[in-house]
Amino acid sequence: RPVLVRCSLLSHHRGRRAKFLALRRAGACSADPLSPTGAVAEATTTTPRGTTLRGPEYVAALEASRYVASPPGVGHANFRDVEAVLAGAVPVLEAGRWQPLRVPSERLNANLPHVLVNNASAWGALRPADLPSSRPRGDVRTYYLPYWLYHVFRRLLAANVTAAPPVTAAPPRAAPLGAC
């Protein structure tokens, strides 16, 4: 994979811009040809003109990357986490600040290949030399529905649940006045 860290192709809202700039200053994005550099990086909130990729081009850009920066956006996790894993890249994620946000994503990501940045200010400390030279171990099957169906059905069978309980219909509602 020719690109070490993909630092582009993601909107820069909710503090992401500062994190991408910190990665660029640390040299983590130097091999990303789609990442703006120099004064352009300081002045823009999007990738350079002409680098908006959609569909197959976007997936190909992720597939060409070993690591994909995926700082949180509106919520703690974002679509980029899943896209990176499905493209075979390793997402670089940020640990959640608040316990309620951390627990679900930590449980899901515990078995996935990923690199974790401890907090919002640690993005600038991430250097290319700090990244593992080989892909971190992990099981990407947790991002697929069949994985979860297998485990749900296995637990149901272990509990001797072999048939669904009978479905009882709710009693019909009385027709509103004047509906006739």
Residue owning tokens 């809202």: 13
In degrees, to the nearest 5, what angle opens at C-alpha 59 toward C-alphas 57 and 61? Answer: 70
Q: What is the pLDDT of residue 176?
A: 67
Residues in the chain: 180
pLDDT of residue 49: 46
Please answer whether residues 92 and 123 qualify as being in contact, where contact means their C-beta atoms are separated by less than 8 angstroms. Answer: no
What is the DSSP secondary-structure string of 148-165? HHHHHHHHHHHTT--SPP
Tens of pLDDT, residues 90-119: 999 888 766 666 666 777 777 788 888 888
pLDDT at 43 over 80: no
Mean of per-residue pLDDT scores for the chain = 77
Tell me, what's the pLDDT at 96?
A: 73
CA distance 16 to 5: 15
